[in-house]
């Protein structure tokens, strides 16, 4: 498809799971792109070159007019399910604001991704979550801007909320007590197929009014069948025992313990899982050349993507999805994450200086004696300890050793990711990102990620979290202190032996 010259496309929800993937595909296609973000500095460090990022909030009507100025088509991929309070009312207000602003700006079409679902023949009404998804589409359609709405079944992809829930349940529970929703029929669709539909919506003839498409994968299966297929591909033997009653409240608490789903989000998800999400019409197959994958292929592709770059977006990348960080950080898919930021009065280049020099004789900028103890313990356990140091004090290459870490990704002045080679009940990474936030100021983000192996890994993370949090906090402050001193005034602390 030849992209019309001068066309400008806006994405509301680019920090989310689907929005982030859509952003990259549209950028590769050559579309003129603008992204709406409540915290533009956070998103600017992650978007491809040439993509405009503007400040705006769908709950703040006054912020939308400048963001939508000159926009031809707008994607609306926003929801408030993870936020505190009445998410349905927040979704209603956000949709009204966006629709009104889009009409006044002369936007030619809005593309919206909602959810499938009809009232259950047994008498169950739509869940509040699915009802809100439908209502959002209706409000956008009433705005007067032509709307293309996709109603999707369960989305499967590495990092998607549904896939991570299924993955965590199947990996961690050899015996699963299954409530009634496990038997509910669905039509799971691969995230790549969802993105293909969203992109293709730009090429539809000029729509009028509301055009709705129901989209799903090639197979109609139950949630239990999805878990069994995942277990089969992973070589796991799992026993599933059905029980007649397990309330949404109890189910959400249970999911909160063993999966990456927070209880308040889990409750809404489970309420929605009682509703079948089956494609009833053929409009999508008739209007598009896309032929979605079946269940087995969708899971196989998701598993193959599991260890891709962390730059891949996940459902929890949306800033509202997890709420405030609590004890133990947050969960991102199967991984446990402690992420911190610090604003410094220094350029991004100066702020990255201490990061580029970290490890070896420069130490870790705080609690070096604690790092020394950890290195000694690693040696006792048969690991590499801290004895390897680093190749050069002020030069970093991918593959370099930094004490008991190895450089996995490096972008000078912006990003350093280290993979742990110490003895651990799981896999660990430590990542630093620096982005300019203003004239002479920048933001440093430090993220520790841990992929636990079984119960031992979870115990390791949570029992040692107070110590890790102390070290990570002190290390970030040390980096910030040296960054504000500037490279010429940088002091290089010597690690205690």
Among 157-166, 167-176, 196-205, the range scoring the smallest mean pLDDT is: 167-176
Residue 317 within any structural domain of the chain = no
Instruction: Identify whether 2 is part of a domain.
Output: no
Domain match, 50 and 99 both: yes
Residues 334 and 247 both lie in one domain: no
For CA atoms 190, 419, 482, 392, give the dihedral sign. Answer: negative
pLDDT of residue 379: 85
- 153 and 216 in contact (C-beta within 8 Å)? yes
What whole-number distance in Å separates Cα of residue 390 and Cα of residue 277?
54
My answer on whether 271 and 411 are in the same domain is no
For residue 432, the model assigns a pLDDT of 93
Is residue 55 a part of any domain in this protein?
yes
Q: Could you tell me if residue 310 is inside a domain?
A: no
Q: Are strands 221-222 and 185-186 parallel, antiparallel or unpaired?
A: antiparallel
Q: Which two tokens stand for residue 383?
A: 């690991």
Rounded CA-CA distance 61/51 in Å is 23
Minimum mean pLDDT among 36-50, 89-103, 149-163, 479-493: which range?
Answer: 479-493
Cα separation, 10 vs 54, in Å, equals 10
More confident: 180 or 387 = 387
Residue of higher predicted confidence among 301 and 276: 301
Alpha carbon distance 129, 112 (integer Å): 16
Residue 313 lies in a domain: no
Mean residue pLDDT across the chain: 81
Residues in the chain: 497
Phi and psi, residue 124, nearest 5°: -75, 130
pLDDT at 76 over 50: yes
Residue 57 lies in a domain: yes
Which whole number is the average pLDDT over 159-170? 75
How many Cα atoms sit within 13 Å of 352 on the Cβ side? 21
The residue with greater pLDDT, 2 or 202, is 202
Residue 310's pLDDT is 46
Q: How confident is the model at residue 322 (pLDDT cuts 50, 70, 90)?
A: very low
Confidence grade of residue 251 (pLDDT, cut at 50, 70, 90) = low
Model confidence pLDDT, tens digit, residues 48-69: 888 999 999 998 999 999 999 9
Q: Judge whether residue 37 has pLDDT over 70.
A: yes
pLDDT grade for 470, boundaries at 50, 70 and 90: very high
Of 31-45, 124-138, 233-247, 398-412, the least confident = 233-247
> Distance between CA 345 and CA 443 in Å, rounded?
9
Portion of the chain with pLDDT greater than 70, in percent:
81
102 and 26 in a common domain: yes
Domain that holds residue 442: 330-485
Give Cα 347 distance to the centre of its chain.
28
Both 38 and 159 in a single domain?
yes
Q: How many domains does the chain have?
A: 2
Per-residue pLDDT tens over the stretch 197-207: 999 999 898 87
- Say yes or no: 298 and 437 in one domain: no
In this prediction, residue 123 carries a pLDDT of 44
Higher pLDDT, 261 or 440: 440
State the Cα–Cα distance between residues 279 and 215, nearest whole angstrom.
Answer: 6
Residues 109 and 204 in one domain: yes
pLDDT for the residue numbered 193? 95
Does residue 156 register a pLDDT over 50? Answer: yes
For position 473, what pLDDT does the model report? Answer: 93
Q: Are residues 299 and 337 in the same domain?
A: no
> Does residue 52 sit in the same domain as residue 185?
yes
| CATH, residue 392 | 3.30.530.20
CATH number, position 210: 3.40.50.720
Residue 239 tokens read as 């026993």
Place of tokens 């259950």: 120
pLDDT at 220 exceeding the cut of 90: yes
Pick from 253-257, 283-287, 419-423: least confident: 253-257
Out of 216-220, 380-384, 435-439, the most confident range is 216-220
Q: Are both 334 and 292 inside the same structural domain?
A: no
Q: Cβ distance 30 to 3 under 8 Å?
A: yes
Looking at the fold, whether 380 and 460 belong to one and the same domain comes out as yes
Q: Choose among 481, 432, 427: nearest CA to 449.
A: 427
Residue among 355, 361, 353, 356 at smallest CA distance from 495: 361
How far is the C-alpha of 303 from the C-alpha of 364, rounded, in Å?
A: 35
Arithmetic mean of pLDDT, 91-108: 93
Q: What is the pLDDT of residue 246?
A: 56
* pLDDT classification of 187: cutoffs 50, 70, 90: very high
The answer as to whether 145 is a domain residue is yes
In this structure, the answer to whether residues 335 and 278 fall within a common structural domain is no
Q: In this structure, is residue 33 part of a structural domain? A: yes
> Within 10 Å of residue 361's Cβ, how many Cβ atoms?
12
């Amino acid at each position: 498809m030849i992209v019309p010259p001068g066309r400008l496309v806006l994405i509301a929800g680019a920090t989310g799971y689907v929005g982030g993937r859509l952003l990259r595909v549209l950028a590769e296609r050559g579309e003129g792109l603008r992204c709406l973000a409540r915290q533009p500095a956070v998103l600017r460090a992650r978007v491809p070159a040439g993509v405009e990022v503007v400040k705006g909030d769908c709950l703040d009507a006054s912020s939308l007019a400048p963001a939508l100025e000159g926009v031809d088509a707008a994607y609306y991929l926003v929801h408030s399910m993870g936020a505190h309070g009445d998410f349905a009312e927040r979704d209603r207000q956000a949709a009204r604001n966006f629709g009104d602003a889009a009409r006044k700006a002369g936007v030619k079409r809005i593309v919206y991704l909602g959810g499938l679902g009809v009232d259950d023949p047994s008498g169950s009404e739509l869940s509040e979550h699915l009802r809100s998804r439908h209502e959002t589409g209706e409000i956008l359609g009433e705005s007067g801007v032509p709307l293309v709405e996709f109603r999707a079944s369960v989305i499967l992809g590495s990092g998607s909320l549904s896939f991570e829930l299924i993955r965590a349940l199947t990996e961690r529970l050899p015996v699963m007590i299954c409530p009634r929703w496990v038997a509910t029929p669905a039509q799971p669709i691969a995230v790549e197929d969802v993105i293909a539909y969203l992109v293709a919506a730009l090429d539809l003839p000029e729509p009028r009014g509301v055009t709705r498409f129901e989209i799903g994968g090639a197979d109609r299966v139950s949630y239990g069948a999805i878990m069994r297929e995942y277990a089969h591909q992973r070589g796991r033997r799992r026993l599933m025992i059905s029980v007649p009653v397990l309330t949404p409240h109890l189910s959400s608490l249970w999911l909160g313990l063993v999966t990456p789903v927070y209880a308040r989000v889990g409750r809404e998800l489970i309420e929605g899982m009682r509703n079948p999400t089956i494609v009833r019409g053929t409009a999508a197959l008739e209007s598009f050349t896309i032929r979605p994958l079946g269940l087995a292929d969708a899971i196989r592709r998701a598993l193959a993507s599991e260890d891709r770059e962390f730059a891949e977006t996940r459902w929890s990348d949306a800033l509202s999805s997890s709420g405030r960080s609590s004890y133990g950080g947050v969960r991102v898919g199967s991984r446990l994450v402690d992420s911190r930021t610090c604003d410094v009065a220094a350029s991004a280049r100066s702020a990255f200086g201490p990061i580029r020099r970290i490890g070896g004789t420069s130490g870790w900028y705080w609690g070096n004696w604690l790092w020394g103890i950890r290195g000694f313990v690693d040696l006792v356990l048969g690991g590499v300890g801290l004895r390897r140091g680093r190749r050069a004090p002020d030069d970093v290459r991918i593959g370099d050793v930094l004490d008991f870490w190895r450089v996995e990704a490096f972008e000078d002045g912006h990003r350093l990711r280290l993979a742990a080679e110490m003895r651990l009940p799981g896999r660990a990474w430590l990542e630093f990102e620096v982005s300019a936030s203003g004239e002479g100021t920048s933001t440093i983000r430090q993220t520790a990620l841990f992929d636990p192996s079984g119960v031992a890994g979870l115990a390791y993370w949570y029992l040692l979290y107070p110590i890790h949090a102390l070290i990570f906090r002190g290390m970030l402050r040390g980096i910030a202190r040296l960054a504000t001193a500037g490279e010429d005034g940088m002091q290089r602390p010597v690690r205690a032996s």
